[in-house]
Amino acid sequence: MEIGISTACLSRLKETEDALAYIKELGAASCEIYLQTFYEYRPEFARKFAPCAEGVEVRSVCTLANNFEPQLFCASRRVRGDGFYWLDQIMRSAQLFGAKNYTLQGLITTPASTEDFDGWGGYMREITCFCARYGIRLSVENSVTGIYNRPYIFQELKNRCPELSGVFDLENARRSGYPYTMYLRDMRGAISYARISDVDEKGKICLPGKGVSDFAEIFSQLKAVGFDGPVLISTPEFGDLTELKTSLEFLRETAEKA
């Protein structure tokens, strides 16, 4: 498996472009670019800082979901139009970064939200087709606050939007209260990449290798559903920057043994 880092890890310490440069400096094979502001969504930003990504495989671009993604699922064409304006900006930026995927949370939901799979599937098809015009694949992540907040939802969406792929997020799987293996089985054969973190004895999020998670077993479970792709560290919960390098090396060694 290829081990990389999301710029989200460094969101509290560095601007996005500096985070990207640092990930390259660490020698990570791949990354995810987390765009946090409307300013960063614009192609002008990507054009200026895309050289920072040279030598690193940009697996995906993701954004602060509640900035505009819920608008993409609105019945009002005018409201959806605003959402697609920003998605267009991000797709142009993703092309400049050489990204393969756009990672979506979509609607802001709760376990009590009404499920409208036919309606959601229609919106997903529209978004998928829009992204495909730019050569970008749409991937939906499992998220406790997003549209995919329970294990069976991905298959319901994919039945209605066959081109859809998934992003496995270990931290969100833990927070959902469901076994993470249920999400893996739900996304079997359609995982674009995985995001991982660790937890300590008290349940506090930390970098992989700093906690109690069995990553050999996690890698084994990923392989069991046919996944052998990019695995990205994705948590800002650490102190010194050297810890990130140590975690990267730990995961490389664990992946090789697995």
Per-residue pLDDT tens over the stretch 85-110 = 999 999 999 999 999 999 999 998 87
Q: What is the mean pLDDT of each run of 10 residues along the chain (258 residues)?
A: 96 94 94 96 95 92 92 96 98 96 92 88 98 98 96 98 98 96 98 98 96 97 96 94 95 91
Q: Which pLDDT tens digit goes with each residue over 106-138?
A: 998 877 778 999 999 999 999 999 999 999 999
- Domain ranges in the chain are 2-257
198-199 and 205-206 as β-strands: parallel, antiparallel, unpaired?
Answer: antiparallel
User: Are 209 and 182 spatial neighbours (Cβ–Cβ below 8 Å)?
Assistant: no
pLDDT score for 208? 97
pLDDT score for 57? 95
pLDDT score for 141? 98
C-alpha torsion angle, residues 38, 43, 44, 49 (rounded to 10): 100
DSSP character string of 82-119 = HHHHHHHHHHHHHHHHT-SEEEE--S---TTSPP-HHH
SS3 234: coil
Domain 2-257, CATH homologous superfamily name and number: Divalent-metal-dependent TIM barrel enzymes (3.20.20.150)
User: Are 108 and 70 spatial neighbours (Cβ–Cβ below 8 Å)?
Assistant: yes
Q: Where are the alpha helices (DSSP H) in the chain?
A: 16-26, 38-41, 43-49, 77-97, 117-132, 153-160, 170-176, 180-186, 215-224, 242-257
pLDDT score for 109? 84
Tokens of 25: 């400096």
pTM reported for the whole predicted model: 0.96
User: Are 205 and 237 spatial neighbours (Cβ–Cβ below 8 Å)?
Assistant: yes
Computed over its alpha carbons, how large is the radius of gyration of the chain? 17
